[in-house]
Structure 1
Amino acid sequence: MHVSVLALFALELSLLSTCSPTVSKLDQIKQLGVLRVATINSATTYYESGDGRTGFAYDLVSQFAESLGVALEIRVAASGAAALEAVSQQKVHLAAANLTITDNRSKNILFAPAVREVTPQLAYHIGSGKPRSLDRLKAPLRIPEESAHAELIESIASAHPKLSWETVPDVSSEDLLAQVGQGEILYTVGDSDLIAMTRRYHPKLGIAMDLGEPSRKAWAFRHHRDSSLFNEATRFLTQLRVSGELEKIEDRYFGHVDRLDFVSSRSLSQHIEERLPRFRKLFEQAGKDTGVDWRLLAAMSYQESHWNPKAVSPTGVRGLMMLTRDTARYMKVSNRTDPAQSIDGGARYFRLLLDRLPDEIPLPDRVWMALASYNMGYGHLLDVRNLTTLRNGDPNAWVDVRSNLGLLTQPKWHSQTKYGYARGKEAEVYVGNIRTYLDVLTWMTRGEDTNRDAALATPRKKAPEFMGPSPLEIDLPLL
């Protein structure tokens, strides 16, 4: 039932003013039907795209609100410090804003069990020379005001008497990292995950060194004698970690972020500008025909051939989508080096793999498994899922299946499978690279009328009509 904002506000005032002291904070939230959470806009936390709300922190708090049976209300703060202030002033129930646990913050804030660990790093502009010490910077180090990184630099500044640094108000770490990548400033400090993400779009952003030990990221609560909400959050996060679900969510956002180095990211950017325009309409048409996001198809093609229609591998696969003879025959592709035929055939074959996977594999995991099948063969993917089950993993979770791919090169394990040996680790790299390329293409086409969820469409079980023997039935790797 819809409750108006005015009615909800009246109910909250009533609870705050008239509730018996025996009504806990947790019960108040359940009666209100709303969990208010402060967060920040960041690639590692929360953001809105054409596909809706997303982000690591958003996924976690969404599940927490669902577990409480209440709606989630997101309030975006200007900074982590502002999110903490919202908690202190009781404007929100908690903050999930990629907040670092520090001694200073812990004096006034109660932190739940850490959800992630990252390493603070010194970032520099490639071309200015990689600094070997904080005492040898060519320009002042710039850091967001009232940030955990500012606390870190303050704590180590006495050991580096020549260090020059300054805090900058009203700016995020992500903004400063972009400025370094663009050469507007030379140095800043960032968390390792955010730096890895930013480097994909700013190839001249370099990592000089780690600064201190890994830092822990956690939800923040106000210190209060009523700890019912904090205790429930602790129980929820502990269960999420024990069940392995936290690891799966973390992998979804961060399991592939550090795959592009300076050279490869520059090459990708150049190819997006120079090669992709020639084939983009073909990818878009294939996407419409198959219900697969054209950017995913383009990312697959880049991994396969770097968008070179005449590419040929040592094993004889060729074309933009690197089709084998058997697969090309099955998909009615007469000329594998013809861009239109290759993209269309590869897209339809990937759709077939996506639909062939068992229904119980959820999204987006089934997409990553379909990609692994495209690389090493559907039969080998089934083998790895069986090995995953044998080793007490979840065969429907990509993070578990991925960890077992390397077993296909070990006689002890592949001798127990139906299809035998396969270069499983190559499939792991293959999928990780495509996920990275997809992220870059998504970022570079932001604002366009595209829908990334199309890549994760509900499988279509009606088999298309093809000719010849099905490559899904053979034992050897397909593509």
Structure 2
Amino acid sequence: MSGGWCAGGLLLLSVSLTACGDDAYITRIQEEGKLVVVTRNAPTTYYVGRDGDTGFEYELISAFAEELGVELELVMSDNPGNILGLVAEGEADIAAAGLTRTKQRQDRVLFSDSYQDVTQQVVCHRRGARPSGPEDLVGLSIEVPAETSYVEQLNRLQEETPELAWEVHPEHNTEFLLEKVWKRKLDCTVGDSNIVAVNQRYMPELSVRFELSDPQPLAWAMPANADGLQDAVNDWLDQYEEEGQLQALINQYYGFIEVFDYVDTRAFRRKVERVLPQYQKLFQEAGKQYGIDWTLLAAQAYQESHWNRHARSPTGVRGIMMLTQITAKEVGIQSRLDPKQSIMGGAKYLANLRGRLPEAITEPDRTWIALAAYNVGMGHIYDARKLARNQGKNPNLWHDFRDVLPLLSQKKYYEDLRYGYARGSEPVRYVRRIRNYHDMLLQALKVE
């Protein structure tokens, strides 16, 4: 990276905005006290998690806004063309939306230095099509989101392989099409490597067949007249990278991918025999204290961590019950890696969630919906209840509720909901797998 704004970086912002460069844009932002940022409501950019706003792009742009000393105002858009349009027209100061910096896009807006490289990957189902190059895509059903760099790359490849064909979707994003491949309703799609890596954690049957492009830079987009802002961003990115904070953020979200929820019956039975006895009394104690079947708590813990007391995820949740720092503080535990504290904390949190649900929800639906809240957050549960009513379904019955949750990942549904995008299929799979593990555990223990 290289910056050409002010020697010494953004620390000079608070001292003198007139010392160097074209600072009119920065001055206006600081006078208004806000930075308007357009982003995508998606797992690699911005979403509402268990403990509030999160996402790689969100954390990165929040750090920049904090350095400027201004509030962050987010604008949501899923279509890259619309995102770039908002920036080009000056309706947003920055697009922090996981955009690749391409020559075609640089004709419209300014871009920052790159903060991460990605490659475009062709993704198919593990038991489906096995293309090894562009020519093998001929005859397959392929869909990609509209106005993306994927379309640009496919257009270039079509010059060499005229028979290559695909369908473009103006409404569907990469995450939606990956899920469509996972459900075997589509042969293949294209996704940036960071998006694919995150989604493979939840849909392990997705398989990368080959790289469609060379590495491409992700960067923030800014209006064409925002040279001073561009220089300020580049100087700040230099500083952020030199301090090791950029790499730490990348490691948090993409540093390692572990799939905790891939069902392996034989592995589960081995762990029932070899690992569960270490923690069985703790599950029994927690179950008794919080009124939860201990075998269900054990099944949930297996889904969360495979009963690994040292388990951790890229987003920072830890321990047997995979608690966030905020949740651990809420339930009053000091060490998430201590098995007793983690199990007690997880049981207390689940009991709290169950207690927050409307009285009209009876068992066992109450427990299934509480488990879904443990996974996706109570805010999205409230959104799904509203959506269920709008769809003419009963929000108090799990079999109706589970049909609605996946709709939270579709723009036409989530854009009017308070908490926005959620990977709604994940809590459905989460509850289903806990119930499967629970059944297998009861069978293994011969518990009636």
Indicate the TM-score class for this superposition, using the shorter chain for normalisation. 0.5 to 0.7
Aligned to 2:66: 66
Query: Taking structure 1 as reference, are residues 76 and 296 closer, same or farther at Cα in structure 2, changes over 3 Å only?
Result: farther
Query: Taking structure 1 as reference, are residues 103 and 38 closer, same or farther at Cα in structure 2, changes over 3 Å only?
Result: same
Distance 1:128 1:146 in 2: 27
Aligned to 1:25: 25
Is contact 1:33–1:71 with CA below 8 Å preserved after alignment? yes
Matched, 1:445 2:375: yes
Aligned to 1:119: 119
Aligned to 1:130: 130
Q: Which amino acid aligns with 1:41?
A: N
Aligned to 1:205: 206
- For the aligned residue pairs, the C-alpha RMSD in angstroms reads 4.0
Shift of the alpha carbon at 1:197? 1.5
Distance 1:170 1:219 in 2: 22
Distance 1:54 1:298 in 2: 23
Match runs of 1:347-358 below 5 Å: 347-348=340-341
Match runs of 1:256-295 below 5 Å: 256-257=256-257, 259-260=258-259, 265-267=262-264, 282=283, 285=286
Aligned to 1:477: none
Distance 2:42 2:56 in 1: 10
Query: Taking structure 1 as reference, are residues 73 and 60 closer, same or farther at Cα in structure 2, changes over 3 Å only?
Result: same
Query: Taking structure 1 as reference, are residues 162 and 26 closer, same or farther at Cα in structure 2, changes over 3 Å only?
Result: same
Is contact 1:283–1:297 with CA below 8 Å preserved after alignment? no
Aligned partner of residue 203 in structure 2, secondary structure: coil
Aligned to 2:220: 219
Larger relative contact order (C-alpha < 8 A, sep ≥ 6)?
2
Is contact 2:129–2:187 with CA below 8 Å preserved after alignment? no
Aligned to 1:346: 339
Matched, 1:98 2:98: yes
Distance 1:247 1:163 in 2: 38
Matched, 1:42 2:42: yes
Deviations 1:217-265 (A, max 9, x none): 00001111x52211111111111111111001111111122x449xx83
Query: Taking structure 1 as reference, are residues 201 and 102 closer, same or farther at Cα in structure 2, changes over 3 Å only?
Result: same
Is contact 2:283–2:343 with CA below 8 Å preserved after alignment? no
Shift of the alpha carbon at 1:202? 1.7
Deviations 1:379-411 (A, max 9, x none): xxxxxxxxxxxxxxxxxxxxxxxxxxxxxxxxx
Distance 1:195 1:283 in 2: 39
Structure 2 gap segments, 5+ residues each: 1-21, 291-296, 312-318, 321-335, 345-370, 381-448
Deviations 1:62-89 (A, max 9, x none): 1111111111101111222221111011
Aligned to 1:144: 145
> What TM-score do the two structures reach when normalised by structure 2?
0.58
Distance 1:449 1:76 in 2: 18
Shift of the alpha carbon at 1:195? 1.1
Identity %: 28
Distance 2:342 2:206 in 1: 38
Distance 1:284 1:112 in 2: 54
Is contact 2:240–2:246 with CA below 8 Å preserved after alignment? yes
Aligned partner of residue 127 in structure 2, secondary structure: coil
Query: Taking structure 1 as reference, are residues 350 and 304 closer, same or farther at Cα in structure 2, changes over 3 Å only?
Result: closer
Aligned partner of residue 30 in structure 1, secondary structure: helix
Shift of the alpha carbon at 1:267? 2.9
Aligned to 2:166: 165
Query: Taking structure 1 as reference, are residues 229 and 447 closer, same or farther at Cα in structure 2, changes over 3 Å only?
Result: same
Aligned partner of residue 265 in structure 1, secondary structure: coil
Is contact 2:310–2:337 with CA below 8 Å preserved after alignment? no
Distance 2:87 2:104 in 1: 16
Shift of the alpha carbon at 1:344? 11
Is contact 2:24–2:228 with CA below 8 Å preserved after alignment? yes
Q: Which amino acid aligns with 2:95?
A: A
Shift of the alpha carbon at 1:155? 1.3
Is contact 1:132–1:208 with CA below 8 Å preserved after alignment? yes
Aligned partner of residue 208 in structure 1, secondary structure: strand
Shift of the alpha carbon at 1:443? 9.5
Q: Which amino acid aligns with 2:86?
A: A
Shift of the alpha carbon at 1:135? 2.2
Matched, 1:52 2:45: no
Is contact 1:200–1:265 with CA below 8 Å preserved after alignment? no
Query: Taking structure 1 as reference, are residues 347 and 230 closer, same or farther at Cα in structure 2, changes over 3 Å only?
Result: same
Aligned partner of residue 264 in structure 2, secondary structure: helix
Length, aligned pairs only: 296
Query: Taking structure 1 as reference, are residues 449 and 79 closer, same or farther at Cα in structure 2, changes over 3 Å only?
Result: closer
Shift of the alpha carbon at 1:112? 0.2
Match runs of 1:268-417 below 5 Å: 282=283, 285=286, 299-303=304-308, 346-348=339-341
Shift of the alpha carbon at 1:284? 10
Query: Taking structure 1 as reference, are residues 215 and 442 closer, same or farther at Cα in structure 2, changes over 3 Å only?
Result: farther
Distance 1:156 1:68 in 2: 42
Aligned to 2:180: 179
Aligned to 1:380: none
Is contact 1:283–1:298 with CA below 8 Å preserved after alignment? no
Q: Which amino acid aligns with 2:340?
A: A
Query: Taking structure 1 as reference, are residues 284 and 213 closer, same or farther at Cα in structure 2, changes over 3 Å only?
Result: farther
Distance 2:152 2:207 in 1: 22
Aligned partner of residue 98 in structure 1, secondary structure: strand
Aligned partner of residue 72 in structure 1, secondary structure: strand
> What TM-score do the two structures reach when normalised by structure 1?
0.55
Distance 2:108 2:310 in 1: 54
